[in-house]
């Protein structure tokens, strides 16, 4: 868990909260743990914390946006594919405690399970560190995505400029997922450098997704 806390950028005072946030209901059931020992309650809390923090972030970043535009932008940022992409960037999958059957069926790669774990971890951070800590965690991860999605700031160029200070290799982008109906498509892109995954992001187009992935990578540098 120490390595995961380094990736999260937060050290828990109560490590049991992080353990619970990463405990799936299938693991609790197979190990005869109490029903409230899984992460479902923390996911419930984290979902509310995430919506508030992202709403506040967008409200502050874009003072001229009307309600409808803020609502649409928030929906794009907190959708399941985007949360799953962030969970993969944070390497939550390998730390989730799953029941045998869920693990065997590829549970660690399921978007639904990963997005739930992300929200549960946020809920745990809120309980352990308070509102300001949770707000800082959300801002670090979502501010680059919000800026990339709104202004299409060239995160890809910025990322490449930083990487080239220490390497001649360029960043490589791959579209790793497509979601939704043809008229309302979401794409998930992954950016790697020297074989290492730097970030994943989701957007309404492949270009937006790549920019979002670069934004996540920049947030982790």
Q: Which residues are catalytic?
A: 47, 119
Rounded Cα–Cα distance for residues 9 and 3 (Å): 10
Rounded Cα–Cα distance for residues 192 and 173 (Å): 7
CA distances for 163 relative to 83, 174, 178, 221, angstroms: 25, 18, 28, 10
Rounded Cα–Cα distance for residues 77 and 69 (Å): 12
DSSP 8-class letter at 90? T
CA angle 181, 183, 189 (to 5 degrees): 70
Q: Provide Rg for the chain, Cα atoms.
A: 17
Show the beta-strand stretches assigned E in the chain. 172-179, 186-193, 196-203
Rounded Cα–Cα distance for residues 142 and 24 (Å): 25
């Amino acid at each position: 868990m120490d390595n995961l806390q380094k990736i999260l950028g937060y050290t828990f005072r109560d490590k049991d909260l992080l353990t619970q946030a990463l405990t799936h209901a299938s693991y609790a059931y197979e190990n005869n743990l109490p029903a409230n020992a899984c992460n479902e309650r923390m996911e419930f809390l984290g979902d509310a914390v995430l919506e508030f923090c992202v709403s506040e972030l967008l409200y502050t970043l874009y003072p001229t946006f009307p309600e409808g535009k803020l609502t649409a932008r928030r929906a794009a940022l907190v959708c399941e594919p985007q949360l799953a992409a962030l969970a993969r960037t944070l390497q939550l999958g390998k730390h989730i405690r799953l029941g045998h059957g869920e693990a065997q069926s590829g549970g660690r790669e399921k978007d639904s399970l990963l997005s739930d774990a992300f929200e549960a971890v946020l809920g745990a951070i809120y309980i352990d560190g308070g509102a300001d800590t949770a707000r800082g965690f959300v801002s670090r991860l979502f501010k680059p995505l919000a800026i990339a999605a709104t202004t299409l700031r060239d995160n890809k160029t910025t990322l490449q400029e930083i990487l080239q200070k220490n390497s001649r290799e360029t960043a490589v982008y791959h579209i790793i997922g497509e979601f939704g109906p043809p008229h309302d498509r979401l794409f998930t892109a992954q950016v790697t450098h020297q074989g290492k995954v730097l970030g994943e992001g989701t957007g309404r187009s492949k270009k937006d997704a790549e920019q979002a992935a670069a934004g996540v990578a920049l947030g982790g540098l």
